Amino acid sequence: MNVLFATSWFPSKLHPTVGNFVLRHAHSVKTSGHKIIVVHEAYSNKILFPSVEESNLEGLRVIHLFFPRWITYFPGFKDRTYKKLFRKLTRITFSPDIVHGNVLYPVGYLASVLSKRCETPLVFTEHWTGFQRENSSELEENISKSIKATAENVDMFLPVSEDLGTQMKKHGIGNTNYITVNNTVDTSLFYPVKRTEKAFTFLHISALGKKAKNPEGIIRAFYEVNHPKARLVIGGDGDIEQLKNYAKEIGVNFDKIDFLGTLKYGEVALQMQSADCFVLFSNFENLPCVIAESHCCGIPVITTDVGGTAEMIDGSNGILIEAGNIDQLKSAMLNVMESYTEFNSQIIAEKASRRYGYKAIGKKFTTVYEKLTTAGG
């Protein structure tokens, strides 16, 4: 089956890590035997004029539509760029059987047009936290109108968590055609290994934004735990220097904490395989890839009970705590260290692989595709 991915977020020259979870979904589709081309629509103040560019990302053919922010005031320029895309798709003789949109805004309009031109069903995977109550300010009126206009053309919504689907329905988006399809993990990279490190390592990797991820809270809890055998590793593509300064201000022993910068996908796997426990102290989430990846590596996760995290955690693979509750985080960190033998790494990894691996997620997508493309489906 030919699948045309149309996505608002995807790794590109503008930002090499944005939408990496969409990239993983694309791989799960390709791994399932489908032919896939990705169309990525992106906006940036770094772009002066619209352009259509191609890249090959991990074996995937990607067509990037790069737009300057000012183009929203001149829609005619946008239409010309879309026409270039249509001609390119015609030249490469790619006739989609289904259009699979990812993140309703801003690519929703283009995905709808592609679906109508190609006379194919349209499905949409959603990842955006803007539908959650904590981020209501992000769902501006013009964005909401655009999303609801797209939703009228969508045959099936595929939110990455049950909670996200519930939030979308509360905003009146679409109909009852919702099927949850989780984020996916490359289990050829994320799998358990035997550790030799004597120290007990807590790990946190994220975009490191204070509003969403609250890494400062993790540093504070680690400092107050003050366990002689514990160490903390923090990585991501946020402001590492600001976090270092914060740790210095509160008196953290820098012999027990490591700060890493932006990590490639395989480097994230190596860090997880070297850790004992992943910590996520977010104020809001959907279905965090880092939890699925940690579990595929066989390590338990301490996470706040926000968004879809409760759908991923049970007593066998981690601990749920309240968002912003430093005391609960401290207790959970000590609890994990004291009762670590109760977590079975192999069982955690096997269960996660069956749920989040490319094969499992690709099979779910295929089931949806086949249902919608079968006559009378």
Domain count of the fold of the chain: 2
Angstrom distance (rounded) from CA 362 to CA 369: 10
| Residue at 6 is within a domain | yes
One domain for residues 136 and 271: no
pLDDT (tens digit per residue) in 224-274: 999 999 999 999 988 999 999 999 999 999 999 999 999 999 999 999 999
HSE (CB half, 13 Å, CA atoms) of 267?
Answer: 9
One domain for residues 334 and 214: yes
Helix (H, G, I), strand (E, B) or coil at 137: helix
Q: Which residues contact 133 (CB under 8 A, 6 or more apart)?
A: 167
Q: Give ∠ CA 364-370-371 in degrees, rounded to 5.
A: 90
One domain for residues 179 and 301: no
Query: What is the reported pTM?
Result: 0.95
What is the pLDDT at residue 135? 86
pLDDT tier, 340 (very low <50, low <70, confident <90, very high otherwise): very high
The answer to whether the Cα torsion of 242, 233, 266, 212 is positive or negative is negative
One domain for residues 24 and 110: yes
| Residue at 195 is within a domain | no
What is the pLDDT at residue 273? 97
DSSP secondary structure string for all residues of 92-126? TT---SEEEEESHHHHHHHHHHHHHHHT--EEEEE
| Residue at 191 is within a domain | no
What is the pLDDT at residue 18? 93
Angstrom distance (rounded) from CA 342 to CA 99: 45
| Residue at 283 is within a domain | yes
**Is the distance from CB of 260 to CB of 271 less than 8 angstroms?**
yes
**Is the distance from CB of 243 to CB of 216 less than 8 angstroms?**
yes
Angstrom distance (rounded) from CA 171 to CA 234: 35
Q: How far is CA 344 from the centre of its chain?
A: 26
pLDDT (tens digit per residue) in 151-169: 999 999 999 999 999 999 9
Q: Which two tokens stand for residue 358?
A: 């490319």
| Residue at 192 is within a domain | no
One domain for residues 8 and 143: yes
**Letter for the amino acid at 86?**
F
One domain for residues 73 and 104: yes
pLDDT tier, 26 (very low <50, low <70, confident <90, very high otherwise): very high
What is the pLDDT at residue 175? 73
- The CATH number of the domain holding residue 142 is 3.40.50.2000
Main-chain phi, psi angles of 101, to 5 degrees: -85, 155
With 0-12 CB in 10 A as exposed, 13-18 as middle and 19+ as buried, what is 229?
exposed
What is the pLDDT at residue 339? 94
**pLDDT surpasses 70 at 355:** yes
Angstrom distance (rounded) from CA 179 to CA 196: 42
One domain for residues 342 and 361: no
| Residue at 245 is within a domain | yes
What is the pLDDT at residue 198? 80
pLDDT (tens digit per residue) in 176-230: 799 999 999 999 999 999 887 789 999 999 999 989 999 999 999 999 999 999 9
Average pLDDT over residues 109-134: 95
What is the pLDDT at residue 375? 56
One domain for residues 111 and 66: yes
The domain of 49 spans: 2-184+357-373
175 or 356, higher pLDDT: 356
One domain for residues 116 and 205: no
One domain for residues 245 and 276: yes
One domain for residues 300 and 320: yes
| Residue at 338 is within a domain | yes
| Residue at 292 is within a domain | yes
pLDDT (tens digit per residue) in 323-336: 999 999 999 999 99
One domain for residues 246 and 131: no
